[in-house]
Structure 1
Amino acid sequence: MSDTRDDRFGPGTYLTPDEAKEFHKLFVSSFILFTLVAIVAHFLAWMWRPWIPGPDGYAALQTGVDFASTAITSLMA
């Protein structure tokens, strides 16, 4: 019986140190990209509808919606 040892990490991982470094690099870059996309999405959602309303509550937003709908309908007519 031959005992062939390789340089795989721990039980059940099946990754060599080089494979683990490559996977880690891909994981970290994917996580950073996901985080940046999430930050941009949250910023755009905040610009569309702020989570903390102003002194008049969300009623102040209705003026902007009315203005936008009037502008859009006047362009279509």
Structure 2
Amino acid sequence: MEIEAKGLRVDLNRAQWFKSTRSGPNCDNCVEVAFVGEAIAVRDSKNPAGAALIFTAAEWDAFVGGAKDGEFDL
């Protein structure tokens, strides 16, 4: 599947998807991430044929930085 988002053309057919090493084998609420060219794609691991969210490198860096800084902690 090739999609265009945020000015990026992303070919998800060649994407290598990764799940967090903190996800156990029986965990059913995980997401997978793929680094595809200049884009970062995120999808639901339970529905790999479903939609993927596309982020730019700057958006991804801001998200990861926020997660490390505890911005999303409850």
Q: Relative contact order (C-alpha < 8 Å, sep 6+): which is higher?
A: 2
Q: TM-score by structure 2 length?
A: 0.24
Greater helix share, structure number: 1
Greater strand share, structure number: 2
Which protein shows a greater Rg?
1
